[in-house]
Amino acid sequence: MQISDQLQCLFSARIEENDESYYLEVPDQELRHGELRPDETYRVAVFPAPTSTTSDASEPAGDRAPPAETGHPEPPVEEGEHRTVEIEDMGDQGDGITRVERGFVVIVPDTEKGERVTVEIADVRENVAFAEVVKRLDYYE
């Protein structure tokens, strides 16, 4: 999948149903910090959240404290966390792209589409994380 240079923001959200219509909420920070403007028309792409991502974090997910209520979900990854992932797509700059819970995007430089790697999350932002390869895996590992 190619990511357009015209991409103005990227975030994860739940789709909600109300009176036979579906809605998704655009977080306020996307309107303040991005190029989005109310009452404009935009194209929206919807990707399913992957269900088979393996977490190698030392602390089980059930033992983590719940995220603070901020009106939007916290990123599902933390700096220093290790994950085993498959590179799903390539970005315009040649970096690998994978998605974890809720479709949250993790960018992994020096990888190829279809490659399985264990990564360490190096930088977490509100809508995207960046990771470094720790180990390259055989497809069947």
Highest mean pLDDT among 3-7, 34-38, 42-46, 111-115: 111-115
Integer CA distances (angstroms), 21 to 16, 17, 27, 72, in order: 8, 6, 19, 21
Domains of the chain: 54-137 (2.40.50.140)
CB 9 within 8 A of CB 127: yes
48-86 per-position pLDDT tens digit: 665 544 444 444 444 444 444 555 678 999 999 999 999
pLDDT, one tens digit per residue, over 19-36 is 888 887 776 666 665 566
Model confidence band, residue 15 (pLDDT cutoffs 50, 70, 90): confident
For residue 87, give the 3-state DSSP assignment: coil
